[in-house]
Structure 1
Amino acid sequence: MTDFLRAMTWVFASLLLILPVLAVLNGWLATQQWPVRRLHVQGEFAQIDEAQVSEAVMPYLEKGFFALPLEDVQRALVALPWVADVHVSKRWPDVLDIQVREHRAAALWGESQLLSDRGVLFPRPAGMRDESLPHFHGQPRDVESVVAMYADAQRLFGPQQRQVAQVRLSGRGSWSLNFRTGEVVMVGRSEPRLKMRRFARSLPLIAVVPGRRWLRADLRYSNGFALKWSAPESPTEREMDNT
């Protein structure tokens, strides 16, 4: 019986020590005694600001310094538009440190996403339109291929005053381009880069046709391409042998 009483006494004493600690760590008591008084926010902000960050974390601060749920704070911040990455930590006695990295948009993607300069797709804010960004279309798995095609097309046509505005890769693997000057290039699936190089070599000759402007080029031919012209008195389709 004596051993039992000793054991119970030890358990009771341990609980007296542990329970207050657990209560503080879980925010059950003394939250006002150890409050978080300062937010230290770091980051280069272009699309978001410190006020948005503060508003997102404010509901969690009432738990106090010890019980502050860092994982929940991080999830709340990552959910903000334009936030790419977040690191949060506590600093004694009353500081919450927050480091935020924003996405930097490199292109529009589809109808509802943006592509970052690190190749990451993220939600596009409602109503956002930025005509200065190229517009890519494809499946998420095609990001690398679409970016590479855009770079190749810019390298081929940029020196000829044809800036690429859109790159589209269809579900069947067919490529097409839109220039900022309005022309459309149907590249197709087979040997797209070979066909673009061939068309780029002919572009200076097409551009100097008097009184005529081409609207669409169809490169889906084995030895040439077809053009649609703007002049109504001209044939709408003309085969050009480019061999």
Structure 2
Amino acid sequence: MTISLPWSRKDQARIEPLVEVDANLLFESTEVEVEAQVQQESEWIWRPLFILTLAGVVLALWYAGIREYVSWIDRQIGYVAVEGATRHIDKSAVEQGVWREINAPLLDIDLQQLHESLVTQPWINEASIKRSWPAALEVELTEEVPVARWGGRGLLNHEGDIFWPELKPEYASLPRLNGPAHETVRIMQQFHDLSQLFSRSGLRIIGLDLEARGAWNIELDNGIHIIAGREELMPRLRRFLDVYAAQLADRADQVVEVDIRYTNGVAVRWRETSENSADKKK
């Protein structure tokens, strides 16, 4: 009699048939894996090398292109153009002066040095210089506009800057201002204010001097010279205008100078007439 134990049946139920594996398939799978690994390692080695080589070629081409471009734009200057509305500036002379200053190719030229050499010329107020391609310089000039004479040789522009050109007869009619060079703006403002004051009495100021000690002297278009001093300027001038209207206007051609530095009046110096000369001889 055969006795089947429970655990014996359980073990038998777990027994599964073995699967037969072909050895050739195992070898083929191994070879595929090896080939894939070799290919992966080969790509890991050659891909960075290819990228570096390509980058080197691109950089070399870029550098060659930059050198070619720079050599094209950094050529010797072949043309200078001088522009701007001018009356007194000789543009041909300015152009020749610029040519004498050119000592380098277009990109290396010192534009600041060129600018400084131009603005030192008396009639040039401002100069703008820029590069232009192919191989040219463009110069834009702003000319000085005189508004007054300064002393006996100079001129003043609207900003109070003194410049010293060769004086021309056409500027003889400009008012003549004079004084310390650092006081030009103050003198111009004073001239403006006094001109408005005198114009109400039909008088025109053609000269205004500021002495170093601060005293003012005025020259009128009728030839009268006014010594105004430095204190209480406006009250004294108003008093002079009252005296002028009441007593001097009819004899203005006989007046040489009026000193208004007095508290209650003015001192008048008259021109010498033939009668006065005769009286002096007697």
Q: TM-score, normalised by structure 1?
A: 0.75
SS in 1 for 2:206: strand
Equivalent residue for 2:107, pick from 42, 49, 66:
66
Does 2:130 correspond to 1:97?
A: no
RMSD: 3.0
Equivalent residue for 1:184, pick from 188, 202, 225:
225
Does 2:248 correspond to 1:201?
A: no
SS in 2 for 1:224: coil
Q: CA deviation at 1:121?
A: 1.8
Equivalent residue for 1:81, pick from 118, 122, 134:
122
Matches within 5 A, 1:28-67: 34-61=75-102, 63-67=104-108
Higher helix share: 2
Q: Which has the higher contact order (CA 8 A, sep 6+)?
A: 1
Q: CA deviation at 1:128?
A: 4.6
- Residue 239 of structure 1 aligns with which residue? none
Where in structure 1 are there 5+ consecutive unaligned residues? 1-16, 235-243
Q: How many residues align?
A: 210
SS in 2 for 1:67: coil
Equivalent residue for 1:125, pick from 160, 165, 189:
165
Q: How far apart, in 2, do the equivalents of 1:138 and 1:62 lie?
A: 42
Aligned 8 A contact 1:212 1:231 in 2: no
Q: How far apart, in 2, do the equivalents of 1:70 and 1:158 lie?
A: 48
Post-superposition CA distance 1:146-192 (Å, at most 9, x none): 11221122112234443212101111111111112211000011111
Q: CA deviation at 1:231?
A: 5.0
Letter aligned with residue 141 of structure 2 = V
Q: TM-score, normalised by structure 2?
A: 0.65
Alignment CA distance shift 1:144-1:127 (3 Å): closer
SS in 1 for 2:100: helix
Q: CA deviation at 1:201?
A: 2.4
Letter aligned with residue 140 of structure 2 = Q
Aligned 8 A contact 2:223 2:253 in 1: no
- Residue 237 of structure 1 aligns with which residue? none
Where in structure 2 are there 5+ consecutive unaligned residues? 1-62, 277-282
Aligned 8 A contact 1:207 1:213 in 2: no
Aligned 8 A contact 2:153 2:167 in 1: no
Q: How far apart, in 1, do the equivalents of 2:103 and 2:209 lie?
A: 49
- Residue 191 of structure 2 aligns with which residue? 150
SS in 1 for 2:87: coil
Post-superposition CA distance 1:72-116 (Å, at most 9, x none): 211221122211111111022222111111111111113443211
Matches within 5 A, 1:109-120: 109-120=150-161
- Return the index of the structure with the highest Cα Rg: 2
- Residue 12 of structure 1 aligns with which residue? none
SS in 1 for 2:262: coil
Q: Percent identity?
A: 24
Alignment CA distance shift 1:112-1:157 (3 Å): same
Q: How far apart, in 1, do the equivalents of 2:167 and 2:227 lie?
A: 29
Alignment CA distance shift 1:180-1:208 (3 Å): closer
